[in-house]
Amino acid sequence: MNDLHLFAIYPQITLGLGALLVLGEGLVFGKNRHGLFLITTLVAATFSLAFTILSWKTTANAFAGAVILDPTVSALLAIVSVCTLLGALCSPAYANRHGFEPANYYTLLLFSACGMAFLVSSNDLAMAFVSLETLSVCVYALTGYRTRQDASTEGAVKYFLLGAFATGFLLYGISFLYGATGSTNFSEIATRFAAGNMGPESKFAVIGVGLLLVGLSFKVGAVPFHMWVPDVYQGAPTPITAFMSVAVKASAFGFLVRLLPHTLMGLSDSWVPILSALALLTMIGGNLLALAQRNLKRLLAYSSVAHAGYLLLGVASASKLPDQADAAILYYLLVYSFMNVGAFAVLLTLNSPARERNNLSDLAGLSESHPLLAALLSLFMLALAGIPPTGGFTAKFYLFGAALRAGYTTLAVLGILSSVIGAFYYLRVVVALYMESPTRPVSNDPAASAMAPRGLALAFAVLLCAVLSVELGLQSLPGLGIFPSYLEGLTDFLVATR
Amino acid sequence: MPVLSIILFLPSVTAVAILLFGRGESGASIARALALLGSAAAFLLSLTLWAGFDAATAQMQFAEAFRWLPSWGISYRLGVDGMSLLYVILTTFLTPIVVLAGFSAVERRVPLYMASLLFLETGMLGAFLATDLVLFYIFWEAMLIPMYLLIGVWGGERRIYAAVKFFLYTMAGSVLMLLAIVALAYLHYESSGEISFNLAHLLRTSIAYENQRWLFGAFAFAFAIKVPLFPLHTWLPDAHVEAPTGGSVILAGVLLKLGTYGLVRFAFPLFPAAAVTFAPWLSLLAVIGVIYGALVALVQPDIKKLVAYSSVSHLGFCVLGICAFTPEALEGALYQGLNHGLSTGALFLLVGVLYERRHTREIAQFGGLAKVIPLYAAALVAVSLSSIALPGTNGFVGEFLILLGTFTGNVPKTTYMAAGAALGVILGAVYMLWTVQRVLFGPVTHAVNEKLPDLTKREQFYLAPVLVLIFIMGVVPGPFLKTFKASTKEFLDRFSKTAVLASLPEADASGRAQVSQILSKWKEDSRSEVASADSASK
Amino acid sequence: MSVGLHHYLLLSALLFVVGTVGVITRRNAIVVLMSIELMLNGVNLSLAAFSRYWGDGSGHALVIFSIAVAAAEAAVGLALLIAVFRNRQSVDLEDLNLLKG
Amino acid sequence: MTGSALLFYVFGALALASAVLVVTGKNAIASAVYLVVAFFNLAGLYVLLEAHFLAASQILVYAGAITVLILFVIMLLDVSQLVRLQGSRNAIARSLGIVLAGLFAILLASQLAPGEVGFPEKLPEGFGTVESIGDLLFDRYLLAFELVSVLLLAAIVAAVAIAHREGESTP
Amino acid sequence: MHEASQIQAQWLLLLPLLPLIGFAVNGGAVLLGRSLPEKRAAAIACSLVLGSALLATAAFLRVLGADEPIHLVADGWHWIAAGRLDLPILLVVDRLSGLFIMVICWIGLLIHIYSAGYMHGDPGFGRFFAYLNLFMFSMLVLVLGGSLPILFVGWEGVGLCSYLLIGFWYEHLPNAQAGKKAFVVNRIGDFGFLLGMFVLFWAAWKAGAPSLEIQSLSQFIDEISVQSVTLLGVPVRLPTLAAFLLFIGACGKSAQIPLYVWLPDAMAGPTPVSALIHAATMVTAGVYLTARLHFVYAASPVVMTIVACVGAATALMAATIALVQNDIKKVLAYSTVSQLGFMFLGVGAGAPAAGVFHVYTHAFFKACLFLGSGSVMHALANNTDVRIMGGLRKKMPHTWLTFGIATIAIAGVPGFSGFFSKDEILWKVWSSHTLFVPPIVPGHEALTHLLPPLLWSVACVAAFCTAFYMGRVFLLTFHGKSRTPHDIEHHIHESPASMTGVLWTLAIGSILAGYVGVPHFLGGHNRIEGWLGAVLGAVHGEESATIVHEGSAEALLAGLSSLIGIGGLALAWFFYIAKPEIPGKIAGAFQSTYRVLSNKYYVDEFYEAVFVTPVRKFSEAALWKVADVQLIDGLVRGAGRASQAVGRAFARIENGFASSYAAAMLLGAVLVAGYLALR
């Protein structure tokens, strides 16, 4: 087969092989070689990132059109790799503390990353379906990984049941899409719709789009399909929350962008209004719901719902100006990864075996005992709120810019106003950190845990997120309209020396 | 030498240094010393701007530019002109004073306090200096964070409520402005084919009337909140009351000015047709604010709240002056901004002095202080006189020019507006003097006040320059007013009938008709002025 | 009258909806899982019907994948239920409301 | 009415009926049994659709593997009767759910019902056979097929990690 | 209007500057906590004022020496320059301002000297002189100001000094309140002044000469006076509007109805202050302004009439109040209000020169009266109630005599200065041709004819009252038996020479000052009228032909007014010396009238009830607590609360049951399907 173009899936393969390697290492060296597994995971993710960068500007169509590689896919692959990296970096301290069996943990992490990587590059309904399920199954399991904790398993069961329920809709949608076109390949489907004049099948297409939207809305957590999000985010082990809040979101949105504006552009009359309504509901609903939260993980969960709303607005805009909106979405996803993981990572740093500090009241007065952590958490909050000069602002700027440009003025206005509501709860965190005095004496162990070797990974993750959250706000030169230009330069350099 | 950038970032760099080195036992003193040094250096540097400033041109001076995000047309672009020069200096002038005032007022977390102040200074300077709209917005919004911390960490009892309210209120306005900025850039792109946020480029864009109105609304809304224009002012009393002295001084002294500055720098010139449409309404709100603020200030038991409402009143004058489209009123408005910065800043400093000694801001807690602390009393009286615009103080020059220019302005009903606002002159005297009387005069009503120490040397040191300036600016306003001239002329040239119509695209026939209709209601006799400006520009 | 695509599609839709009813009304998590399997089967039926309609095997392949996915999901789901059961001695979904709000 | 049509209605009715019984069954084991019945009927329908391989897989995997697994877990946990049917704390959502499901069915049917679309008489050579499906799986869907193996492996790892008690040593 | 020749005289700048230096020195010393010793402080203050006085004299002589009206001009930097407006610092001495600076400087000097004795031992001695010097500065700026804004600087400056000096003894709260009241009421006037200034500028701009320089305005008055606008649908001539608004300003500063209420309260300040500021100089600023802008007023006869009416009404009202006051300073204060009314009456009747003449004579005798009362207070431990005085004549002969001379002068007894000026005013009113009732008033023609005699009779009644109450005060204070409590009585002593010397100087001035304006019918040349008339528009200039013809009428009226003055004094003698029981009886018989008068017509109470309290209540209850906190801010907070409430409500739907979540998803699916099916 000449058109395999295996290089197009090097990152995916790397991640999958990494998972197998961890699994194998576990069998060979025993299941508790935590450091080894971590390093393997990090290496796999790094290589995946490296492969992505090496093939940065390449466009390819591999495996009989089952997967493709283009700049958008590359960007998404990079985001997935980075998220995996960050997720892995966040994990060891927590996993250690709660006695996770590390081999399976990292295996599942990498398998899910592999699924995500395939999802964002898939160009075929079957491919997308299977990869989506791969990542879902892994994430279900990871959510329930603290099997002795009620919250974790409860979250996982809810996630699983509702996820499977949504999968039903998604598959049904796939079925109708197939029924409408007789093909599962996106390119063929797109051609079919672009050609127009369809027979009785046109009705199937509309049904299919609706059902697909339902299924995918669940995955991205759009209101009213969002209700699992807070429970799962709260129940899941915090590193997993961090990981999936960005990685699952990025891959799901990657797929959504691939599917709706690119593949189903011909049907935009059907899905654009729905998507707009979903975006509006999600932006406002997510922000309003977050207002009532006292638990930080839950708060961030609703905040992630709200961010999904902004992104949905971007997807809707992509129906009018695909390039610009795509770039804005990708940029947003990238920035979001850093700021959201950063926030969770700070929470993880604050955790101790004795107590998880996930409530707002636990943060009171933290700026006096842990000034740096408080400053960093505030930074992430402000970034999430979209205050310049953070990346959160730049991302919002591009995204709402695209929405305005695409003519969604009302949506953009309402969305950005809802972000003011959002600012309130992000500021609540800053209030707790800086303006309230601690309700309980602050124990010193977080500092100690930050000093431990595996805490180093976490510290690195926090700092990386912080630096990039700001950097993407200040520098943010979209080369390819997607990534900072020096990254582009770096790629050129690597390609040249290959 | 990129002097603007140096002035702009010197405070931030100092702030970072403070955060890095201001640790441990001596952290507080290091922070204080560094903050004073940094802010004073910025002030001295900013004076060189004035020295090298060419008042004859409306061009941006000391301009710096480099392409920052070229694919989005965003550039890092700084410059000063007559409208911003003195505000930049006001900012750099007030900051060291506030730093000094914070030496004793702030005891908790001094490094963070000083760093916040300095970051805030960068934010404010950036907003005054930026000539790229996105850059402006970044500074405009980033400024909220340190101010938020200043209020929230070192504020009074309800500081958190006030801080959050301040933040959200302002943000609610400014996010809409952000959208408007983006929309403006797209409109520019559609007409010119290049994407740019450069103010100079955007000023050349002709925008349909309908769009102008929306965009102007968004801009004006954001700025009106900041000013604050009645009825968008309710964040101010809370913020002022709860903020620590330094925060109040900066808030009143500089932050509010950004509102009026934004109007003259962006909202009005960018959308002339919309500006002439809405100016009468803005003036109406301003006049209501003048009277309303004064009346409400009259009955405040809390002295900081009183000053806060008085700010609403004073800033009403500024907006009124801007909306009159006469050179006198506009220069008066710009001048009044400076005055308010000094006199209200000084008032807050003085209130802070009292607060430090007595930990209360309730007027009823004082009385008869003139006997106990005569120097303080003299300072308070002097500042009050500036606040009520006594001739010989800076306040008079500003209010006089505004009222004169508005009274004889071109906009319909402007005469009534000026007459209404002139009532504020009476009311200002009422509330200010009543306050002075209740605080300073009569017998000493509370035994605790018998032993209050008078102004310390440090307090005298930082109050003196403000007081001296108040009188200098009242007696010799010439050098200050001179810097405004070229820029105000350029501003007003945009509001001649032809220029306003030229801001609308040829195709927008109905818009042009509507605007002509509006302009035809302008006083006929103002045409002479306008016509001469037109002929001069041709 | 002959049985055509629409008949199959209607049948599959009915199966799907019956499944959704099960998901919403049942409290036994295992029964919910079975209801989900019903939904998936409904979908599979439609896929097979479309495959027949187009005379194309892709639908069949999709069904195969769907069956594999269902198996995998069942495995993980049941494992999760076992874990929950161990913690709470119940698989009643109404007992699972520690997380809410 | 042709024979195949008759068979369609028989299989369809049985499948639907058993599906309803799955959902309404009071006992989880009964539900599982009805589920098997439904699967068999669906297999019959697959045959009618010329999907012979699918029919076989359906019986092998669904009826054979999945249902057995489910039954096994039901037995293991002894939860067949465990769930009380009365006294739901969430009755509103349930009844609302039924209404919504009805609405959804109506909407879906309204889109599907009008306009009969028949099946083409002619089918390509080898349609529905193992060979043709195999060709597809190893050509067009090669990657997906390989990914399924990853999926299954991941599922195994996941199931082991979750269900295996020693997975978590100390709380 | 003649073109007066201009002579550059930069040294005029020194005139206000010298007292300013005094202010800086004394004030600076006080601020630095090192007050100068009394002697040195007083010496500095007095010598600097003396310097000004000498300069003023030089300037005055220069103006006096010129045959034609000349302007001595000094200019400084460009003060405010923006747009159409260019305001250089500009000081001008012409005949009008020359006369004023003479009065201000010399009387000011006398009062400075007097104060050195009067304020002896006061802890605020240095501060007092600093304020006094600042006042001198401001007053000189006011008078010398060559443009309206410069004038306004002085105008506000004297207001400030008045504020500071009324509240000089601020530890006593009513003093501070009185100071504030003075400032605020003045501010109401300033509101008018400002707007009037704007109107003038507007008119001047429309006339093509945008300027606020008085000279430029007067030059272009013909063009300016034709400018008009439509206000609230009524066409109004701008000069009329300006004149009216400026008159509001004048009312504030010169304590005319309805803004006179601050002046009686202003007596809370040290007595020299009352003499200098609230009698001799500052309060006449309104008259000065009106005279200065006579050309504007001349262009608006309606406003002239209003001025005259207000003046007459004020004269009468204040005089009647003064009849029954028992506080010696209050009586003098109302007397001042009343006399100011006379001045306005004169100005309004078209005889600014007569008004100014009265300003000039009034300065002498009223200052003398105040300082005399100060001398009395000094002796009586600062008591001001005439009811505890009496019989001071023997113990304080100098004070008695000087006070008596001044009393006779103010009463208008021929031969004393008050007679000449007051009589001049009465005559000008009687013979006025400018009083004019606008056609909108029904019967305006008849009224126009009736107005002069009407105003004349009002003024006569007021003059009679003046004579009576002054006689009353004089007699009650110095004659009869002593009613002073014993503990105070043995303190009574004549004041030191520095004070009595000043009293004598002023008393002599009170006699002689009037002789520059001896009317023609008495063989005089009324030189001051002619002299001032040359710069004040000489409204009656063309009447010189008729003077002889009307001389007899004038003489008749003069005789009448002399009788009024003497009669009033005689009646006072009759009431308070001859038959001291009568006043009580009358008061008993007309109790309600008496009460109304002694409560000053309840005007303060009326203002309090109608303006002050409602505004405060309204601001507090309606604006602040309801409109601001509940309505406007309530909306803001409501938005916040509503968001929170909605958030919480939705969070409750999020009830933790998977079936709810599934139902919500199904709801979403139904909505999506519904949209797609039904669109």
**C52-62 pLDDT tens trace:** 888 888 999 99
Residue B311 has pLDDT above 70, yes or no: yes
Amino acid at A204: F
d(CA A434, CA A149): 32
pLDDT tens, residue by residue, D26-48? 888 889 999 999 999 999 999 98
Cis peptide bond prior to B237, omega within 30° of 0: no
Asked if residues B162 and B237 have their Cβ atoms less than 8 Å apart, the reply is no
pLDDT tens, residue by residue, A60-90? 888 888 899 888 898 899 999 999 999 999 9
Per DSSP, the three-state class of B360 is coil
Asked if residues C55 and D122 have their Cβ atoms less than 8 Å apart, the reply is yes
d(CA A404, CA A413): 9
Shortest Cα distance, chain D CAs vs residue E663, angstroms: 5
d(CA E470, CA B61): 71
* pLDDT confidence of residue D168: 46
* pLDDT confidence of residue A197: 66
Report yes or no: B167 at the A interface, CB cutoff 8 Å.
yes
pLDDT tens, residue by residue, D41-81? 999 999 988 888 999 999 988 888 888 889 888 888 877 66
Chain C residues lying within 8 Å of E661, measured CB to CB: none
Confidence label for D166 from pLDDT (cuts 50, 70 and 90): low
Chain C residues lying within 8 Å of A215, measured CB to CB: none
Give contacts of A 305-344 with C, CB under 8 A.
none
Residue with tokens 């002056």: B321
Shortest Cα distance, chain B CAs vs residue E26, angstroms: 14
- Alpha-carbon distance values, B82 to B128, B269, B396 (Å): 11, 15, 21
Contact D97 E674 (CB under 8 A): no
Chains contacting B (3+ CB pairs below 8 angstroms): A, E
Report yes or no: C18 at the A interface, CB cutoff 8 Å.
no
The ranges of chain E with pLDDT < 70 are 1-4, 523-525, 537-551
d(CA A199, CA A201): 5
Cis peptide bond prior to A389, omega within 30° of 0: yes
Confidence label for B345 from pLDDT (cuts 50, 70 and 90): very high
Report yes or no: D3 at the C interface, CB cutoff 8 Å.
no
Give contacts of C 42-101 with A, CB under 8 A.
42-43, 46-47, 49-50, 53-54, 56, 58-59, 61-62, 65-66, 68-69, 72-73, 76-77, 79-81, 83-84, 86-88, 93, 96-101
Looking at the partner chain, which of D88, D152, D162 has a beta carbon nearest the beta carbon of C79? D162
Residue A34 has pLDDT above 80, yes or no: yes
- B501's enclosing H/E stretch is helix B497-502
d(CA B100, CA B94): 10
Residue A447 has pLDDT above 50, yes or no: no
Report yes or no: D82 at the C interface, CB cutoff 8 Å.
yes
Per DSSP, the three-state class of B377 is helix
Work out the average pLDDT over B291-319.
92
Q: Please name every residue paired with E81 in a beta bridge, in sequence order, or none if there are none.
A: E86
Contact D163 C79 (CB under 8 A): yes
Confidence label for A435 from pLDDT (cuts 50, 70 and 90): confident
pLDDT tens, residue by residue, D125-160? 778 888 888 888 888 899 999 999 999 999 999 998
d(CA A434, CA A431): 5
Contact A161 C46 (CB under 8 A): no
Work out the average pLDDT over B75-96.
92
Number of cross-chain residue pairs from C and E with Cβ atoms under 8 Å apart: 32
Per DSSP, the three-state class of D168 is strand
Looking at the partner chain, which of D90, D101, D107 has a beta carbon nearest the beta carbon of E655? D90
* pLDDT confidence of residue B122: 94
d(CA E100, CA E96): 6
Report yes or no: E619 at the B interface, CB cutoff 8 Å.
yes
Count other Cβ atoms within 10 Å, centred on residue A437.
7
Contact E656 A231 (CB under 8 A): yes
* pLDDT confidence of residue B2: 86
d(CA A70, CA A57): 7
Per DSSP, the three-state class of E261 is coil
Residue A494 has pLDDT above 70, yes or no: no
Inter-helix orientation angle A238-257/A322-350, to 10°: 180
Asked if residues B6 and B44 have their Cβ atoms less than 8 Å apart, the reply is no
d(CA A87, CA A82): 8
* pLDDT confidence of residue A475: 65
Token pair listed for C27? 């409290």
Amino acid at E426: L
Per DSSP, the three-state class of E72 is strand
The 3-state secondary structure of E23-63, one letter per residue = HHHHHHHHHCCCCCCHHHHHHHHHHHHHHHHHHHHHHHHHH
Contacts of D54 by beta carbon, 8 Å cutoff, 6+ apart: C44, C48, C60, C63, C64, D43, D46, D128
* pLDDT confidence of residue D19: 94
* Cα radius of gyration (chain B): 23
- Which alpha helices (DSSP H) does B155-271 contain, by range? 159-192, 199-203, 209-226, 235-242, 245-250, 256-262, 268-270
pLDDT tens, residue by residue, B449-486? 888 888 888 999 999 999 999 999 999 998 899 899 89
Confidence label for A443 from pLDDT (cuts 50, 70 and 90): low
Count other Cβ atoms within 10 Å, centred on residue A492.
14
Asked if residues E35 and E41 have their Cβ atoms less than 8 Å apart, the reply is yes
* pLDDT confidence of residue A415: 92
Question: Nearest 5°: phi and psi at B63?
Answer: -65, 145
Report yes or no: E632 at the A interface, CB cutoff 8 Å.
no
Residue of A nearest to C72 (CA): A137
* pLDDT confidence of residue E428: 84
What is the end-to-end Cα distance of chain E in Å, rounded? Answer: 86
Inter-helix orientation angle B144-154/B133-142, to 10°: 10
Count other Cβ atoms within 10 Å, centred on residue A95.
23
Per DSSP, the three-state class of A67 is strand
Mean pLDDT of chain A: 86
Contact A155 C61 (CB under 8 A): no
Looking at the partner chain, which of A168, A178, A234 has a beta carbon nearest the beta carbon of C58? A178
Residues of E with CB under 8 A from a CB of D: 655, 657, 659-660, 662-663, 666-667, 669-670, 673-674, 676-677
Work out the average pLDDT over A94-109.
88
Report yes or no: D155 at the A interface, CB cutoff 8 Å.
yes
Confidence label for A338 from pLDDT (cuts 50, 70 and 90): very high
Residue B323 has pLDDT above 60, yes or no: yes
Contact A400 B179 (CB under 8 A): yes
ipTM for the predicted complex: 0.90
Confidence label for B130 from pLDDT (cuts 50, 70 and 90): very high
Token pair listed for E588? 């008993």
Residue A449 has pLDDT above 50, yes or no: no
d(CA E654, CA A301): 13
Cis peptide bond prior to B231, omega within 30° of 0: yes
d(CA A117, CA D114): 41
Confidence label for A247 from pLDDT (cuts 50, 70 and 90): very high
* pLDDT confidence of residue A441: 55
Of residues B353, B344, B377, B341, the one with CA closest to residue B244? B353
* pLDDT confidence of residue A4: 67
Asked if residues B324 and B411 have their Cβ atoms less than 8 Å apart, the reply is yes
What letter does residue A101 receive in the DSSP assignment? -
d(CA B155, CA A431): 12
Lowest mean pLDDT among A469-478, C38-47, E197-206: A469-478
Looking at the partner chain, which of A371, A424, A481 has a beta carbon nearest the beta carbon of B168? A424
E624 against A441, higher pLDDT:
E624
* pLDDT confidence of residue A479: 38
Shortest Cα distance, chain B CAs vs residue A435, angstroms: 5
Buried b (16+ CB within 10 A) or exposed e, B77-97: bbbbbbbbbbbbbbbbbbbbb
Asked if residues B426 and E191 have their Cβ atoms less than 8 Å apart, the reply is yes
d(CA E116, CA E358): 28
* pLDDT confidence of residue A22: 94
